[in-house]
Structures are given as C-alpha cells and as structure tokens.
Amino acid sequence: MELETKRFYKFLAPRPTVIVTTVDREKNVNAAPFSFVMPVSIEPPLLAVALGHKGDTLRNIRDTGEFVVNVPPEKILNELWVCSKSHPRGENELKAAGLMAVDSEKVLAPYIRECIAWFECLMENEQELGDHVLVVGRVVHAMVRNDIVRKDGNMDLKKAKILMHIGGSKFAVAEKEITVKVEK
Ligand SMILES: Cc1cc2nc3c(=O)[nH]c(=O)nc-3n(C[C@H](O)[C@H](O)[C@H](O)COP(=O)(O)O)c2cc1C
C-alpha cells in the first residue's frame, strides 16, 4: 500500500525513547519524553533531538544551553507517560511522576535516578526544520548502570529493557538480540 508521506516516521519505528531533563532560569526542573533522537558524531560526542517549537524543553535549553538525556527502562513507562502530559510551566514533572532527580556532574539540569543511562549535554547547535527544532548537544558527561554493560562494551538488552516508541501510547521493549554470521 502507499503511505501518506507525512506518516513515514511511523515506519521508522520503534524508536529508542529518552526523557530529557532541563531547568528553567529559576532552576525549576522540567522533564519530557522524546523519540526523535539520534547520535550524530562519536568524536566529538554529539547527539540530536527534534523538539516541538512550543515546548518547555526547547525554551529551557535555549535559556540555559544545557540538558540531560536519560534512557528509561520498561519499569518506568507509566512515569514517562506522566512526564509527557503538558504540565503548567515551572511545574516539576519528575515530582508529579514520582521520579527521583539527582544532581548532575557538569550541568544544572538533574538526571533521573530510575533510568539506566544518562548523557549530560551542552547545546552545540540548533536548527529549525519543518515543525520541529533540531537541537544538537555535546555529551560532556556520560554514565550507565553497571549491570547493563556487557563485557564486549555493548548494552545487555535483557537487563536494560529499554523502551522503544511505536506511536501514541504504544511501545516496544527491545529484548531479542541476534548476531550476523561473520566470515573469517
Ligand atoms: C514516547 C513519546 C515520544 C515523544 N517524542 C517526541 C519527540 O521526539 N519530539 C517532540 O517534540 N515531542 C515528542 N513527544 C511529545 C512530548 O513529550 C510532549 O509534547 C511534552 O509535553 C513536551 O514537554 P515539554 O513542554 O516539557 O517540552 C513524545 C511523547 C511521547 C509519549
């Protein structure tokens, strides 16, 4: 079947989903989930998130130049969903969701204790693209929960149980790993 072109992203799915934490000028904490997210450079370490024009996340990043990308596990799906609702400006979504904010190393925005990986970022660049704004962040500090790192340096999917966004309220959990046969 043909697909309405604007629905393409529904089939570039499921997408890894993150919760971006920021603070406003008064240090009020904001948290919201995003799945239009991708690595863009390894050295220097850069990632990009496409943010809606009107959101608090974009405004806070523009005001402070900082944000944290938190990788949530399946366990906190309901809490992630609470963070996705529009809350009055300045209201702390982490408190509303019952998630714990912990001080970051290099940025003012806190990270979320219940997540499994955390990337503290400084805004490197932004570009308005269509109905989103692509924000590029430089990862200045990165952490990961010990038990989800395998000996080969990759993520242990069975332990991490990361959330992937299909669309709307539908998610997948990435758990099945397969290995391609490599000729020697
Ligand atoms: C799983 C999930 C993924 C989302 N991904 C994006 C995204 O990539 N970009 C975006 O602008 N909004 C995305 N949203 C919607 C935002 O989370 C939502 O608009 C939120 O209220 C924005 O919060 P803010 O105003 O605090 O920035 C997503 C929502 C969910 C539930």
pLDDT at 181: 95
Answer yes or no: is the C-beta of 41 below 6 A from any ligand 1 atom.
no
Q: What is the CATH number of the domain that holds 152?
A: 2.30.110.10
Answer yes or no: is the C-beta of 57 below 6 A from any ligand 1 atom.
yes
pLDDT in tens, 166-178: 999 999 999 999 9
131 contacts 111 by C-beta, under 8 angstroms: no
pLDDT at 89: 80
Angle at 41 between CA 109 and CA 71, to 5 degrees: 40
Asked if residue 182 belongs to a domain, the reply is no
Asked if residue 180 belongs to a domain, the reply is no
Sequence-ordered list of residues with C-beta below 8 angstroms from that of 22, at least 6 positions apart, any chain? 29, 30, 31, 56, 57, 60, 61, 64, 66, 67, 68, 109
Residue of the CA atom closest to atom 4 of ligand 1? 34
Asked if residue 179 belongs to a domain, the reply is no
Indicate the number of domains in the chain: 1
pLDDT at 87: 80
Asked if residue 70 belongs to a domain, the reply is yes
Tokens of 66: 């900082």
Sequence-ordered list of residues with C-beta below 8 angstroms from that of 60, at least 6 positions apart, any chain? 22, 23, 24, 30, 67, 109
pLDDT at 86: 83
pLDDT at 147: 97
106 contacts 55 by C-beta, under 8 angstroms: no
Distance 104 CA to ligand 1 centre (A): 22
Residue 88 falls in which region: left (phi positive, over 0), alpha (psi -120 to 50) or beta: beta
Ligand 1 pocket: which of 22, 24, 35 to mutate (most atoms within 8 A of CB): 35
Angle at 88 between CA 86 and CA 92, to 5 degrees: 90
pLDDT at 92: 87
CA distance 38 to 55: 19
Distance 116 CA to ligand 1 centre (A): 19
Distance 81 CA to ligand 1 centre (A): 10
Answer yes or no: is the C-beta of 36 below 6 A from any ligand 1 atom.
yes
pLDDT at 172: 98
Which residue segment(s) compose the domain that 137 sits in?
Answer: 5-174
3-class SS of residue 120: strand
Report the nearest atom of ligand 1 relative to the CA of 86. Answer: 21
Spans in the chain with pLDDT lower than 70: none
Asked if residue 158 belongs to a domain, the reply is yes
